[in-house]
Structure 1
């Protein structure tokens, strides 16, 4: 009798169904915040400005940065965290991502900085800088 009870309990498979509720984001939702409606993108990554070229490298993409007053402001903030002019600074910005004009060289997308959220020193282990020296 004990073995029958044991076997019947073992055959009682747990068939609980797990339902995952997905939330759809409606871009026209009136409850969206002002920042969600402004068309800007939050980007976090490594920023460098050197020799009239500004670059933002995120974990996924590399962007050319539009050189304007806001980029210069970011560069001035980043200088405090650089040892060499070619060093990167870790930044968090909000900006407008725009495609590069077809007749120009560079990365497929550019970012025009609209808001600077944070600037900090880059991890020296990931700061892949090539230094050219003449001997």
Structure 2
């Protein structure tokens, strides 16, 4: 293979990989939208609030992660960051910062990375943020 042929092959594989990932995510969100036909933002807030989280924290978490979902799909507290949303545990600090901003908390940059990366789902994130609110951080 010549240099240009190798470049074309690498680019073609990259396009196929990105297309496969997008197709897989589209199918996952389409299935979630069909399964959660009657699920609303108020349902999310109420279900999270049932775990000792205030409605303000529940709404902030919902808004902080809503850009990960397709239109018409409302987050569910049990949505797993890695398996359902495809979010790397090392990138969870961004969601913590976004939720802190929405709650008018100082931008949290000093969190223990191990504690943040241990968050598995939206319910864990909401409880973590509630602990920060309760601590007054």
- Please confirm whether the aligned pair reaches a TM-score higher than 0.5, indicating the same fold: no
User: TM-score under structure 2 normalisation?
Assistant: 0.28
Structure possessing the higher radius of gyration over alpha carbons: 1
Greater fraction of residues in helix: 2
Greater fraction of residues in strand: 1
User: TM-score under structure 1 normalisation?
Assistant: 0.28
